[in-house]
Structure 1
Amino acid sequence: MGSAGSITDVPGTKVGHAENTKAFTGCTVIIWEEGAVCSVDVRGSAPGTRETDLLDPTGLVDRVHAVCLSGGSSFGLDAAGGVVAWLEEKGIGVDVGVGVVPIVPSAVLFDLSIGDPKVRPDRDMGYRAAALASPTEDREGNVGAGCGASVGKLGGFEGAMKAGIGTASVRYPNGLVIGAIVALNAMGEVRDPRTGELLAGSLDRDGHPVDCRSWLYDKPFAFTNIPQGTNTTLAVVASNAKLTKAQAKKVAEMAHDGLARTIYPVHTMFDGDTVFAAATGEVEASVDLVGAVSAEVLATAIVRAVMTADGAGGLPAYRDLRKRRLEGDA
């Protein structure tokens, strides 16, 4: 499947990844050195976040300099400190008279089950991700915060599948660009919203994906064996539109539709699903257009996060199942 673009197509946007491929954890940093208007919407019931309160439209500061997405559960919030340190060294942040204070909201996902639970993204890893940030970074799959990401845990972690980072973008003739990046770590299954094809989800004992919709109807105790806080999908949608912080909040709310179109079930008690929306303020655009298209682009990024992931940590990926099917048809 060819590239669907990247969030770095949005002018002024850089992305950096850092990961530990042996421990299966990592972090992803999205940087706007000139700052970006930003807000957030949290729909999952098990979030782990830092500095999200200031993204409320009533908050004083209306621009951020980076967003840090990290594995490691709440331990991974430490990675944002490294991003802050790197930005301060570069003189990037809010001028407070005695220096600059970089504004770096952060959110974490749970990946402790797949690798070494004692190794988590820390300040050094966050610093490294920020230092590596580039306007051409478009890697997907098992990188950054997607290194230990997985989906399909309705039947327990032993039936899960590997997921990762996905990104996508859309360009308009007037110069408007809307992009998304996601670290996909959902409890539910993932389907292609265009075809309804089950791409990744809970596997039965024979390694075949189980239709979660029928499972939920047939098994009233389906959620009883899922450890709390073991999931969470994190995303950033960005554009070069001129938006206020209140409008960015609306875009974040609308962008969650991209999760609902691809992940089932979504926004559960076991997920901390969080979507940040950022705007760099270059092109006049309707907030409804930006919000609606952000949902579409995020849905594409979620599909990409499944299709580009490689099996790891004992978990198979979409590519493994597809290869198995093709070999079975040969």
Structure 2
Amino acid sequence: MSAKPTARPAGAITDVAGLAVGHFTDTRRPTGCSVVLVPDGAIAGVDVRGAAPGTRETDLLAPGNLVERVHAVLLTGGSAFGLDAAGGVMRWLEQRGMGLPVGPVRVPLVPAAVLFDLMVGDPSVRPDAEAGYQACQAASSAAPAEGNVGAGAGALVGKVFGLSRAMKGGIGTASVRVGDVTVGALVACNALGDVVDPDTHRVLAGARADDGAPMDTRRALLAGQAPQGLLAGNHTTIGVVATDAVLDKPQAMRLAQVAHDGLARAINPVHTAYDGDTLFALATGRVPSHPGLLVLGAMAAEATARATVRAVLAARSLELSGQRWPAAHDTPVT
């Protein structure tokens, strides 16, 4: 039996200057939301890969559409109900004069994505506008908390063979620096599939075998083991990648697209019909030159993969209503 994996520091999305991250975690049940604030605004893009997404204000990020810059992105639990939290983020931004100038007012535009955590505890408890506002109030440029907080509070992973065999997911962050340019990621992982070490391919957290240790979902499926209890939209990994490089909207969208390569390295299976996997990209433009989109893409994929791994390594076990979902931190790894 090998040693338990640990959540080694890997940097944070707030290593990108000009960003702040805040979490709200609901103490009534495991759920919450997380906000990435960019007070000076950032060029934004998005890429939705999962077939069961829950999103808000994603169309405005398409190249060719009017809006160029946003001041916040929201990641939230609560399924589609959790999109209400974006209203609180809007209120917080409006109070500070941030948003798109439209005549005498500024309209804050808050792209958002949700994950499904309604099966964990009382489903009537989900993030609302006040939760979004409180996440903004808590925002800091310090490295954000990881694991069972914010949008990752109720996250589970490895649900292909039923919820009872799942393990605890969470939220994680990481960053990569090349020259003067930094790319960071914040990922809330509630995946249907397993989370694996991208370098060793060892399963870190996912569907569990009879002895409680993570099994290998990919191998089990290929061996003919049938999935059980699958519900559309009952999963999903969402996140934000950010850089201080100068990008336009098409380039920001491309960065979000390539960042999904990081999810593919760290989650198996990924982008399924039961997940709503969505990644946003933000570019603050504080560093005037960068090493090119090829290198930036490699950095984004790496940061996303590392943040996904940290989401489960920083998580802690959850026990609720007689059900226990262990975490990678305290589960034997063979």
If the TM-score is normalised by the length of the shorter chain, which range does it land in? over 0.9
List per-residue Cα deviations over 1:266-286 (Å, max 9, x = no partner): 000100000101100122121
CA distance in 2, matches of 1:244, 1:163: 33
User: What is the aligned counterpart of 1:190 among 163, 188, 195?
Assistant: 195
Contact (CA 8 Å) 1:24, 1:116: kept in 2 or not? Answer: no
Q: Map residues 89-128 of structure 1 onto 2, 5 A cutoff.
A: 89-128=95-134
Residue 145 of structure 2 corresponds to residue 139 of structure 1: yes
Percent identical pairs in the alignment equals 54
In structure 1, the residue matched to 2:233 is 229
CA shift for structure 1 position 137: 3.8
Mapping 1:225-304, distance limit 5 Å: 225-283=229-287, 284-285=289-290, 286-304=292-310
> 1:63-120: per-residue Cα shift (whole Å, max 9, x none)?
1110000000000000000000000001111122212111110000000111211100
In structure 2, how many angstroms separate the alpha carbons of the residues matched to 1:306 and 1:238?
A: 21
Alpha-carbon separation, structure 1, partners of 2:91 and 2:136:
9
State the Cα distance separating 1:220 from its structure 2 match: 5.8
Selected match of 1:162 from 168, 176, 184? 168
Q: Which residue in the other structure is 1:31 paired with?
A: 37
Could you tell me how far apart the structure 2 residues matched to 1:145 and 1:187 are? 16
Instruction: Read off the aligned partner of 1:259 and give its amino acid letter.
Output: L
From 306, 317, 321, the equivalent of 2:331 is 321
Normalized against structure 1, the TM-score is what?
A: 0.95
Aligned pair partner of 2:91 in 85, 94, 98: 85
The answer to whether the aligner puts 1:17 opposite 2:27 as a matched pair is: no
Contact 2:172–2:187 under 8 Å retained in 1? yes
In structure 2, stretches of 5+ residues that fail to align are 1-6
Distance 2:218 2:103 in 1: 56
Structure 1: 5+ residue runs without aligned partners? none
| Secondary structure of 1:305's aligned partner | helix
- Paired residue for 2:207? 202
1:159-200 CA-to-partner distances (Å, cap 9, x unmatched) read 000010100012233x21110000000000011011111101
SS of corresponding position for 1:128: helix
The number of aligned residues is 322
Which stretches of structure 1, 4 residues or more, deviate above 4 A after TM superposition?
none
TM-score relative to the length of structure 2: 0.94
Aligned alpha-carbon RMSD (Å) = 1.3
